[in-house]
Amino acid sequence: MDTLEEVTWANGSTALPPPLAPNISVPHRCLLLLYEDIGTSRVRYWDLLLLIPNVLFLIFLLWKLPSARAKIRITSSPIFITFYILVFVVALVGIARAVVSMTVSTSNAATVADKILWEITRFFLLAIELSVIILGLAFGHLESKSSIKRVLAITTVLSLAYSVTQGTLEILYPDAHLSAEDFNIYGHGGRQFWLVSSCFFFLVYSLVVILPKTPLKERISLPSRRSFYVYAGILALLNLLQGLGSVLLCFDIIEGLCCVDATTFLYFSFFAPLIYVAFLRGFFGSEPKILFSYKCQVDETEEPDVHLPQPYAVARREGLEAAGAAGASAASYSSTQFDSAGGVAYLDDIASMPCHTGSINSTDSERWKAINA
């Protein structure tokens, strides 16, 4: 009680300006979790909690690396290579941030370095978030290297702008509610920024979840895989809980810190595994699947001018075994690039064009005519 009276006296004094938000005299248990050390060591419980899941996931990635490399080498899919590398990078950055936080002291320079590592980790996580949404809704049917580069360029710029803004607010205007002892804890840009960003991402992911139930599904091609919408629903719920915790903190209710602690732990520890389970597990399994599959709309025409090459089984029934064997490799449409004898060719995904048209390589045009005759 004496300590509380001293704080009240200090805030009411005309000699010292009052802080923007009063610090907590007796730290809440959810605040203690963020900075309390394990015994006499300099290792914090919070850093250890974030380190263990990232280390376990990195071990899993290394264990699956030989089979994953073999599968990627066979398919040569740029989108899977991109996601696999980004998931690896997120795990490594998360481990590096936790290790550095365990080794630095509580000086101001060390605190700034720790916050910069937090922002770097957030930058990579947000880049993957935006990449999944953009590839899924806008460019899912385009899986060439050029489209991947364009998407990554867009997400890099957006993620960098977000991280720089958040980092500037965090370093120059630290949240007084997250100051403990003689240093400031990483506060994600403050309560207000946390609230605004959480509400924004909640609305985005909620819109993605309800898109298949809206009239827009008749106008645009939407992913048909259920895992895509489960992924969006999980992130929408996570941002909703984070926003509620931020609202409580804005009203000086310290219990809101427990809510944001839980969402922060789940996001920085299990977001990369969520990406792997939702989008990469099927690809690296026994039967690879397309990352974003689309339902094809059949358009009826009276006199089609161009015919798709017939399946291999039909060609065999017509007695053209030699031509059918050569045409099977050319007729297997994929949304990824593949190697041919004359070089590298790219085929558009079936969802990106009407189902009654197709592109036939000039070298095989006569062969398709023989099959379709």
278, 330: one domain:
no
CA distance 251 to 96: 34
In a domain, 278, yes or no: yes
129, 273: one domain:
yes
Higher pLDDT: 139 or 44? It is 44
Tell me what pLDDT residue 70 has: 84
Tell me what pLDDT residue 217 has: 78
What is the total count of domains within the chain?
2
In a domain, 222, yes or no: no
Residue 248 one-letter amino acid: L
Tell me what pLDDT residue 310 has: 42
CA distance 229 to 208: 7
What b-and-e string marks burial along 312-324, b requiring 16 or more CB atoms within 10 Å of the CB? beebeeeebeebb
186, 273: one domain:
yes
In a domain, 351, yes or no: yes
Give the pLDDT band of residue 150 (cuts 50, 70, 90): confident
Domain carrying residue 318: 312-372
User: Lowest-pLDDT range, 80-84, 152-156, 177-181?
Assistant: 177-181
Q: Which residues pair with 344 in a beta bridge?
A: 339
Tokens of 5: 């009276």
What b-and-e string marks burial along 76-106, b requiring 16 or more CB atoms within 10 Å of the CB? ebbbbbbbbebbbebbebbbebbeebbebee
103, 180: one domain:
yes
Q: Is the pLDDT of residue 61 over 70?
A: yes
CA distance 307 to 304: 7
Q: How many CB atoms lie within 10 A of CB 353?
A: 13
164, 88: one domain:
yes
What does pTM read for this prediction?
0.67
pLDDT > 70: percent of the chain = 61
Chain-wide mean pLDDT for the chain?
A: 71
In a domain, 220, yes or no: no
* Distance (Å) of CA 96 to CA 89, 93, 103, 113, 266: 10, 5, 11, 12, 18
Tell me what pLDDT residue 341 has: 38
277, 350: one domain:
no
Averaged pLDDT, 41-46: 80
CA distance 50 to 120: 15
In a domain, 9, yes or no: no
Coil/strand/helix, residue 340: strand
In a domain, 99, yes or no: yes
272, 331: one domain:
no
Tell me what pLDDT residue 287 has: 53
User: Lowest-pLDDT range, 57-71, 181-195, 236-250, 312-326?
Assistant: 312-326
Higher pLDDT: 264 or 139? It is 264
Tell me what pLDDT residue 164 has: 92
Give the contacts of 247 (CB within 8 A, at least 6 positions apart).
195, 256
158, 89: one domain:
yes
Contact indicator for 177, 191 with CB cutoff of 8 Å: yes
Burial of residue 115 (number of CB atoms within 10 Å: 0-12, 13-18, 19+): buried
* Residue 13 CA neighbour count, 13 Å, CB half: 11
49, 117: one domain:
yes
323, 175: one domain:
no
Backbone angles phi, psi at 295, to 5 degrees: -80, 135
Averaged pLDDT, 98-126: 77
In a domain, 110, yes or no: yes
In a domain, 162, yes or no: yes
91, 186: one domain:
yes
* Residue 147 CA neighbour count, 13 Å, CB half: 19
Tell me what pLDDT residue 176 has: 67
Q: Is the pLDDT of residue 16 over 60?
A: no
CA distance 27 to 161: 33
42, 130: one domain:
yes
